[in-house]
Amino acid sequence: MQDLLSGAAMLARWDVLVALLVGSIGGVIIGAIPGVGPAVAIAILLPATFAFDPIVGLTVLLGIYGSSMYGGAIPAILINTPGTAVNALTSYDGYPMTKAGEAHRALSLAYSASFWGGLFGILCLILLSPVLALVAPLFGSREIFLAALLGIILVILAHRGQIFAAGLLAMFGIFLQTVGLDAVTYTSRYTFGLSFLSSGVNLIVVVLGLFALSQAFFLLTAPDESPDAAPVAGKLTAGLRELMGHKRVATVSSSFGVLLGMIPGTGEFTAQFMSYTYAQKTSKDPDKFGKGSPEGLIASEAANNAVPAAAMIPLLALGIPGEALTAMMLSVFYVHNVIPGPQLFQNNIDLVYALYLALIILNVLVLVFLLFSTNLLTKIIRVPTRFLGVMILLLSFVGVYSLRNSLTDCMIAAGFGVLGLILKRLNLPIVPIILGMVLGGIMEVKLRSALPRLNGLLDMIERPIAMVIFAMILIVIGLHIRTLIREYRAHAPDEDHDLHDTQQR
């Protein structure tokens, strides 16, 4: 209880409350504008947060991360254009409800389900905190190395149909973090005689290039658009009562969000599709899904809003980010010399509780804000996309230059912006590069720390937790190979049949 009160006292500062208000409401606005998204916004704000206290900077970023999906539901429902990528499934049932004249009902259900999922995820974290505090000290260098390796494997395997490309991009990210002076031997690695590479490739520069600048280039090279959404008439509070009739779907969907949010590389998309599939299979009216089903809308929004709180578990307990947004938050910890992992729950448990309380408050703030300002947000949706592109471009270069007052950083960021644009045009993932840089650095440090204590390769997995994580790695790879074999066998008879038909002709 004392730790909880200390966390509450940490939040009671005026600058933290302002950061919470700006982050939560700003996240809703950013989510409601198609073409921006939380990753772009967090990438732009990241350099500025380094000047604040850790709780202030993290509160702003958490506010954007946790509230953007609320706002992303608005254009998904009203104009069939998801504000954020994870709101794509919301449009399946939300937009048909709008066409049927039930826009206010769809928005009210989306807000209510998001609020339910967000609070459910935070409640699970609060209940799991004592467990994490006991388990975290048992993780040594070898366990964290294996956990980071498992994270990279899961991130790669999560990109079904693009595993080879995701693997190469993750390895490219691992390579990027090795560039510069080695921290132990002080020898140059992959600098190729270029002095500006001696300090390495800055993670924030890469993040701003791949996410913010690439999106700016994408918007500036695409046709200019100004989406139009009609004002919403009707009460937006009715969804809270209607949600009570679908408590089972909301709770199970939130559970999917929590479970998959804790697993690196899965996140909102997998949680959404699993919860949506569950809701459809257990519904009394499955044919209505995709045509305006309230259960489908609830399943989608409850699942994706339970993920942000759950995604903080591997970040806080092990210092291992599960996706790009938590990887950006990790850099805020490092800048202030607050290292997530086993020691965080021993030395800074008040900060952990403060973050949990911040998530609760931001969900309440966002719900209240949306109930009274949805029609105002429909006007924000109409911002021309090329104007957005220019603003993102300007703010990104300002953010990059402010890091070290370096034009070289701006040029490197521009180069990664072009790379990000190419990857988007080719429909290839960007996230493996960032997680490769972050997890690759963790793996290198922890492996170097563990090697002097090892007498052989098997010593790496001699301890119980290390053995469990290694078994999980083998199981994940084995299950994936099994899936590939099944898919091959399923398609092989069709190919043999086509070949037989060709020979007969």
Decide if pLDDT at 424 tops 70: yes
Ranges 219-233, 366-380, 473-487, most confident: 473-487
* Residue-wise DSSP of 263-291: STTTHHHHHHHHHHHHHHHH-S-GGGTTS
Residue carrying the six token digits 């294996």:
146
- Cα–Cα dist 159/162, whole Å: 5
* SS3 (DSSP) at 188: strand
Q: From 136, 129, 84, select the one nearest 110 (Cα to Cα).
A: 84
- Cα–Cα dist 175/189, whole Å: 10
* SS3 (DSSP) at 189: strand
| H-run or E-run covering 181 | strand 180-181
The pTM score is 0.79
Cβ-Cβ contacts under 8 Å for 312 (sequence gap 6 or more): 125, 326, 355
- Environment class of 396 (CB within 10 Å of its CB; exposed 0-12, middle 13-18, buried 19+): buried
- Environment class of 494 (CB within 10 Å of its CB; exposed 0-12, middle 13-18, buried 19+): exposed
Task: Write down the mean pLDDT value for the chain.
Answer: 81
Q: Give the model's pLDDT for residue 501.
A: 57
- Cα–Cα dist 455/98, whole Å: 65
- Cα–Cα dist 352/4, whole Å: 9
pLDDT band at 3 (very low <50, low <70, confident <90, very high): low
* SS3 (DSSP) at 370: helix
What is the chain's length? Answer: 505
Q: Comparing 135-139, 169-173, 209-213, 462-466, which segment has the lowest mean pLDDT?
A: 135-139
Tokens of 14: 């005026």
Pair 275, 302: CB distance under 8 Å: yes
pLDDT band at 381 (very low <50, low <70, confident <90, very high): confident
pLDDT band at 416 (very low <50, low <70, confident <90, very high): very high
Residue 304 domain boundaries: 2-504
Cβ-Cβ contacts under 8 Å for 285 (sequence gap 6 or more): 293
Tokens of 268: 């909102």
- Cα–Cα dist 67/205, whole Å: 25
Decide if pLDDT at 152 tops 80: yes
pLDDT band at 172 (very low <50, low <70, confident <90, very high): very high
Overall number of domains in the chain: 1
Share of the chain above pLDDT 90, in %: 4
Distances (CA, A) of 289 to 61, 95, 198, 199: 34, 12, 56, 53
Pair 283, 92: CB distance under 8 Å: no
* SS3 (DSSP) at 184: coil
pLDDT tens per residue across span 453-490:
777 777 778 888 888 888 988 998 898 888 888 887 87
Q: Give the model's pLDDT for residue 183.
A: 72
